[in-house]
Amino acid sequence: MAAGIEIDHIPGSSRKAAFRRLTAIMRKEFLHIQRDPRTLLIIFILPIVMMLLFGYAVRLDVKNISLAVADRDNSAESRQLIRAFEQSGYYHITRVEHGDWDAHDIFLSGEAVAVLSVPVDYGRSLSEASPRPVQFMTDAAESNTATIAAQYAQQIVLQHTLATWDSMGLGHGRSGVGIRSVILFNPELESTFNIVPGLVAVLFMMACALLTSVTIVREKETGTLEQILVSPVNVGEIIIGKVLPYVILSSLLGILVVVFSMHHFHVPFEGRPVELALFSLVYLLCALSFGILISTKARTMQVALMIALISTMLPSVMLSGFIFPIASMPAPIQLITRLVPARYYLVIIRGIMLKGATMSDLQEPLIALGIFAFVVLTVSVKRFRASLE
Amino acid sequence: MTAETRWAVETHALTKRFGDFTAVDNVDLQVHKGEIFGFLGANGAGKTTTIRILCGLLRATSGQASVSGVNIMRHPEKVKPLLGYMSQKFSLYDDLRVIDNMIFFGGVYGLKWKPLKQRIDHVSGEIGLHHLLNRQVRGLPTGWKQRIALACAILHDPAIVFLDEPTGGVDPVSRRQFWDLIYGVADTGKTVFVTTHYMDEAEYCHRVAIMYQGRIVSCDTPHTIKAQSGDPTLEDAFIRLVSDRIRQEV
Amino acid sequence: MAQKPVDILAVGLQKQYGDIRALQGIDLSVTHGERFGLIGPDGAGKTTLIRVLCGLIRQDKGTFQVAGLDGMRSIRTIKSILGYMPQKFSLYPDLTVGENLRFFADLFHVIGAQRQSREERLLHFSRLGPFWKRRAGALSGGMKQKLALSCALIHTPAILILDEPTTGVDPVSRREFWEILRELSDRDGTTILVSTPYMDEATRCHRVGFMNEGRLLATDTPDNLIHGYPYRVIQVHGENLFPFRKALETIPGVRSVCALGEYLRVSTEKTDAVVHAIGDRLTHAGATGFRIRTVAPLLEDMFVNLLESGRVS
């Protein structure tokens, strides 16, 4: 007999014990969240504030654009056109002149951000094959507003021309005016519809990558990780036990955001919720793996927070197509966006919610996300094991 | 303002509260000039808070305190040049050389270049650092870092030096050598105010104050404290004093 | 007499971090029911050795066994019978005393009635009962220490490894803590390996290992170590003796003179002659009112001696 201790049964080897350990870690994690309500506040309040902010204040569709008008024609048709602008709801007319003036001064004084100039003989030329063009100028200091204002103006002028022709009994087949753009899926161009999916993408990244890394690093910092590593618990149990509470929380939150947006902003949900839930899990796995990876690098919670913000949150907001369309980015940046998982997830969630897309439509982003999840998870678990040494 | 006084440190009913927690509770202390005064107690007993008040880093809630005859409640800034402070963590710049650290700390105290060079030379001799001056601090053994920190603390020739747990985690040989240096410093007329939680180390001091839960339980020479309680070691005496205090409270 | 089984056995353990050789070949054996103290300064390698034995880090060379189980192959089994208390307070400060205990009970699969009875027992000895609902972060240093020990003991480990458990704790709590350790090994037969920077704690162990710079310099009972001290200690008591220290160093036969408050401690090879010489020199130098006597060496004297002889060679 070499040892004074008889080991008849090894505690901790049974499956039941493993389950007990897992639930113990999860339970403890929920206690931490409960004890430090700041975490809870961040994950619950922030997305709601963001949604309200984007839903009301930061509308990407533009209303009440201040407009100054130079009506040199002063005909019935020109007045009709001006009324059309007024009635569209997008413009707020600050001034109407009939003579000549410098648009530059108007922009400088801030009196208006757009100027509509109706040429002499506009009304008469409408009955001709090619009517005289109206001029529309915008102050592109605020480029987003400017672009959208110009788009609306085009629509209004086109509509007005067509309507005039209709009233004159002239056919639609007239030259040059065959274009009629049709906007599908989000006909009102409501930006809330785009914001909500983006918000879910960012939210998952935040709850999983950021909070996961912080919670693991906190245990490193307090030394408790070492304490529990000297128990029968294994690395897998620690990771799953610590991460699962955040998966549950962020899933609940995701559902909350989607349901809230459907009711409050009337965001449509065309596709199948089950599919969205399943695909979201793949994305969550990506986010979690990033979180674990960060936790292996960071020694303090502050560092973890910084890395998580810079490497996961910011790209998810800036480079995913959430706020800035990828197609209008320079080519090198477009390449970088391919490394942002939120990019693929946005295609998936927008597709399912707004278009009713199904799995067969979403193969490409799904495969991309799957590869991401697999690679990052493998690397991060390996690193995590190594970092414990 | 620096009226002649026999006390290096004197406090009356010094109290510091953080919220409803009283960290320092009515402390009366009198430290003789030129003595090695030991300040004993566990972590959280209030030692560091007291030292921080005496160094002008923290304002007391009530009570009086003076260091080298300067009232620190009224003139906290005037106290600072008169004292040297060596923290538990040796607060040295790891990436700098020993001499750079000394030049920096001398500069902080406003020493001009020429006298600074003389002081560095003098103090290095006293502490035996000459051979290390051009070495980077990082990588030096703890015992040496401790000496360098002491050198930086006495560079501006302060009247009193506060040493906060100077020997934590040092091997016994280095510890004995360090105490030799402390005796040397005291021998040049400086007052040494040293905190420690090693009870055996308190035997090195001329007089000690034992602090427990913000209060001074006893203040005398180690010999007298032991003789009064009839215990063989200061630790036994400490335990007896503290237990008495607990019993009184109950 | 039957040989007691060896619970912790290390053979030639080595560990290197970059340039720092934290362990330079450690051989160690701790028998069943023994309280073994690892004494040494910061950076001696105590923590590294303990972390290797707990399976937290892997040694570069050498082998070890815990309870007869191979440290490399059976580390998970070892962990389930081992209790470990790290140097830093490593419990969850935002969780209550009860929640911390329960968490560790779950980790070690201590459940049901068993958990209840053990919790009761641990609360009894630690006297933490009234603080069951207090958050661990709000406990005093001594209570934190006892809670950490309770958590390490929840699965009644056969072997307990503690890394500097009493550093910075007040002497009252320190004494209580050692009383608990003594009961654990003497009454329950728990094998204890404990590291400490305090020399006086070493005397509370059955056996002591002096550690420095990654090596075990000596391993023996405290008594044997003190008896092995090759010199005599003469103590001079009096006021302001420090200035006379140098005068004594040159007396033939004196190894070292160390100032200790009101004392000068002189290590010598011979006694009688030196006692006389000390008296003469002190009187000659002008000292008055001193007393000279020979005293028993301390464990610290032995450690200093080992360190110094190590440094010379």
A283 — pLDDT class (breaks 50, 70, 90):
very high
On whether residue C306 sits in a domain, the answer given is: no
Sign for the CA dihedral angle at C236, C242, C245, C247 comes to: negative
- Within a 10 A sphere around the Cβ of B231, how many other Cβ atoms? 16
Instruction: Spell out where chain C has E strands.
Output: 6-17, 20-31, 35-39, 61-66, 69-70, 82-85, 159-163, 191-196, 207-212, 215-220, 232-237, 254-260, 263-268, 291-295
Interface probe, candidates A23, A230, A234, chain C, greatest C C-beta count within 10 A: A230
A39-48, B132-141, C91-100: least confident range: A39-48
Assess whether pLDDT exceeds 70 at residue A178: no
Residue C166 lies in a domain: yes
Same domain (yes/no): C129, C141: yes
Q: What is the mean pLDDT of chain A?
A: 81
CA distances from A243 to A27, A239, A277, C147 (A): 12, 6, 18, 27
Q: What is the mean pLDDT of residues B155-179?
A: 85
Cβ contacts of C104 on chain A, cutoff 8 Å:
231
Residue of C nearest to A26 (CA): C103
Say if CB A100 and CB A72 are below 8 A apart. yes
CA dihedral C91, C97, C98, C103 (to 10 degrees): 0
B7-249 domain in CATH 3.40.50.300?
A: yes
Residues C148 and C167 in one domain: yes
pLDDT band per the 50, 70, 90 thresholds, residue A9:
low
Nearest to C107 among A7, A21, A388 (CB): A21
Instruction: Say yes or no: C241 and C208 in one domain.
Output: no
Interval A13-62: pLDDT, tens: 678 888 888 999 999 988 888 888 877 777 777 777 877 776 665 555 56
CA end-to-end span of chain A: 33
**How far is residue C70 CA from its own chain's centroid?**
25
Reported as a single tens digit per residue, the pLDDT across B65-79 is: 999 888 988 888 888
B207-212 vs B215-220, strand pairing mode: antiparallel
Banded pLDDT at B1 (limits 50, 70, 90): very low
Residues of chain B contacting C203 with CB distance shorter than 8 Å: none
CA distance A48 to A257: 7
Residues C187 and C257 in one domain: no
Centre a 10 Å sphere on the Cβ of residue A190 and count the other Cβ atoms it contains.
17
Q: Which of C226, C256, C282 is where one domain is finished?
A: C226
Tokens of B33: 């000039």
Q: Do residue C211 and residue C236 come from a single domain?
A: no
Question: Which tens digits make up the pLDDT trace of C122-158?
Answer: 888 888 888 999 999 988 878 888 899 999 999 999 9
Q: Measure in Å the smallest separation between the Cα of A276 and chain C Cα atoms.
A: 36
* DSSP code at position C4: P
Contacts of C189 in chain A (CB under 8 A): 4
Quote the pLDDT of residue A181: 46
Same domain for C137 and C268, yes or no, is no
Among partner residues C56, C68, C159, which is closest to A229 by beta-carbon distance? C56
Whether C212 is in a domain gets the answer: yes
Give the amino acid at A129: A
Predicted local confidence at residue B66, as pLDDT: 92
Neighbours of chain A (3+ CB pairs under 8 A): C
Mutation for C interface: A8, A231, A234, A385, most C CBs within 10 A: A231
Structural domain total, chain C: 2
Q: Is the Cβ pair C172, B243 closer than 8 Å? A: yes
Q: Is the pLDDT of residue C62 over 90?
A: yes
Interface residues of chain B, partner chain C, Cβ below 8 Å: 41-45, 141-142, 168-174, 176, 179-180, 183, 186-187, 197-200, 202-206, 212, 221-223, 233, 235, 238-239, 242-243
Q: Where residue C97 sits, what CATH number does that domain have? A: 3.40.50.300
CA C44, C48, C51, C55 torsion: positive or negative? negative
Distance from CA of C234 to the nearest CA of A (A): 45
Architecture of domain A65-168: 3-Layer(aba) Sandwich (3.40)
DSSP C116-142: HHHHHHHHHHHT-GGGTTSBGGGS-HH
- Quote the minimal CA–CA distance from C257 to chain A in Å: 42
| Contact (CB<8Å) B171/C41 | yes
Helix (H, G, I), strand (E, B) or coil at C37: strand
- Mean pLDDT computed over C60-86: 91
pLDDT > 60? residue A182: no
**Is C302 within the bounds of a domain?**
no
Say yes or no: C82 and C136 in one domain. yes
pLDDT at A60: 54
Q: Which of C140, C168, C212 sits opposite B171 (nearest CB)?
A: C212
Q: Are residues C68 and C128 part of one domain?
A: yes
Phi–psi pair at B245, nearest 5 degrees: -65, -45
User: Residues 190 to 229 of C: which have CB under 8 A from any B CB?
Assistant: 197-200, 212
Strand-by-strand arrangement of the A135-138 sheet: A91-97, A65-71, A114-118, A135-138
Asked if C190 and C272 sit in the same domain, the reply is: no
Contact yes or no for C80 and A2 at CB 8 A: no
Please report, for chain B, the start and end positions of each structural domain, with discontinuous segments joined by +.
Answer: 7-249
B–C CB contacts, 8 A cutoff, strictly below: 91
Q: Select from C181, C198, C226 the last residue of a domain.
A: C226
Mean pLDDT of B192-214: 87
Backbone angles phi, psi at A269, to 5 degrees: -130, 95
What pLDDT does residue A176 have? 45
Q: Quick one: pLDDT at residue A172?
A: 55
What angle do helix axes A235-264 and A273-297 make, rounded to 10 degrees?
Answer: 130
- pTM reported for the whole predicted model: 0.76
Average pLDDT over residues A219-243: 87
**C133 belongs to a structural domain:** yes
As a whole number, mean pLDDT of residues C58-74 equals 92
Per-residue pLDDT tens for A109-158? 888 888 888 888 888 887 776 778 888 888 777 766 777 778 888 888 88
Residue A223, Cα to own-chain centre: how many angstroms? Answer: 37
pLDDT score recorded for residue A179: 42
Residues C55 and C150 in one domain: yes
Report chain C's mean pLDDT, rounded to a whole number: 88
pLDDT digit string, tens, across residues B51-65: 889 988 888 999 999
Q: Which residues of C touch A233 (CB under 8 A)?
A: 107
The pLDDT value recorded for residue A84 is: 87
The whole domain housing C236 covers 230-296
**Per-residue pLDDT reduced to its tens digit, B88-114:** 777 788 888 999 999 988 888 888 889
> Interface partners of B (3+ CB pairs, < 8 Å)?
C
Statement to judge: residues C206 and C257 lie in one domain:
no
In a domain, residue C301? The reply is: no
| pLDDT computed for residue A61 by the predictor | 58
C267, C201, C15: which is closest to B173 by C-alpha? C267
∠ CA A140-A145-A146, nearest 5°, is 40
CB-based contact (8 Å) between C258 and chain B? Answer: yes
Evaluate if residue C265 carries a pLDDT over 60: yes
Least Cα separation, residue A227 to chain C (angstroms): 6
Q: CB–CB of C123/C132 below 8 Å?
A: yes
Q: Indicate the residue type of C35.
A: R
Question: CB within 8 A of A307, min separation 6: which ones?
Answer: A213, A294, A297, A298
**C309 part of a folded domain:** no
One domain, residues C12 and C102: yes
Touching pair A, B by Cβ (3+ pairs < 8 Å): no
DSSP string, B89-115: T----TTSBHHHHHHHHHHHTT--HHH
pLDDT score of B241 = 85
Residues of A in contact with C86 (CB under 8 A): 223, 226-227
Q: Is C169 on the interface with B (CB under 8 A)?
A: yes
Across the interface, do A229 and C108 touch by the CB < 8 Å criterion?
A: no
- A13: which chain C residues are within 8 Å (Cβ-Cβ)? 76-77, 80
Neighbors of chain C by Cβ distance (3+ pairs < 8 Å): A, B
What residue segments make up the domains of chain A, in order of their start?
2-58+190-388, 65-168
Task: Phi first, then psi: give them for residue C307, nearest 5 degrees.
Answer: -65, -45
